Amino acid sequence: MKTSKIILVWRWPVRVMHWSMVAAFSVAMWTRDSELDRMIHVYAGYTMAAVLLVRILYGFLAQDLAGFRRFPPAPIKGLQYAIDLVRGQARNHLGHNPAGALAIYAMLLLGLSTVATGYWAFEYDNDFAKDWHHHLSYAWLWLIGVHLFGVLMGSLAHKEFLVWAMITGCKTRRSVSEPFSFQAAGITLLILLLRFINLFTAPFGTRGIITRQPKKPPRR
């Protein structure tokens, strides 16, 4: 018999900081090449810097699952978890899994480096800082893509929408394991990747890769 239990995992400060960083990063990337929106880009960077510092302070002080002491960086365990995830044998973690923990630390470090070089480039008009700010921001973007891939795979493997958990703060702990479909993960990842590309090509007047098609009649 299958049983489940709703558990509060992410408290409201963690969720607010998470979605604040998502919003600040999205605005900063959207306005990265626009001279007219330059100050919006700058303010988004300042917002990101503030949220990052608060999140790091929270990580050192908090005793819940978002505290750093609850998910220390462990590269070997992270790699093993990633391998187990592809095999469909990964254990479901209530908080951050070992691979997700590594992604969190990497994004925090990249985030601090990106906002620091951005401040240097804006305040002192330094070309070296501008180049590094550009490279670091795109490295951060690619790491976010890897993070989204991990969230997708984890959601499919454990039959739980992890994004919704970061909205509500709750996860469902089940007493039985369920099968993992690598084929379904691959198809879903491809669709997610194409839509992600569309997000950044649409402002430049391109039609994008995915276009809306007329709805097909249901099968009988």
Check: CB of residue 173 under 8 Å from CB of residue 9: no
User: Can you give the pLDDT at residue 173?
Assistant: 67
Strand partners, 170: 8
Determine the pLDDT at residue 33: 85
pTM over cut 0.85:
no
The pLDDT value given to residue 53: 97
Helices (H) and strands (E) in the chain, counts: 7, 2
**For the chain, which ranges sit under pLDDT 50?**
1-2, 175-185, 204, 206-215
The SS3 call for residue 6 is strand
Query: What pLDDT is stored for residue 178 in this prediction?
Result: 38
Phi and psi, residue 190, nearest 5°: -60, -45
pLDDT at residue 7, as a whole number: 87
pLDDT of amino acid 79: 94
- The reported pLDDT for the residue numbered 20 is 97
For residue 166, with 0-12 CB atoms within 10 Å meaning exposed, 13-18 middle and 19 or more buried, which class applies? middle
Shortest CA distance to 167 belongs to which of 59, 10, 58?
A: 10
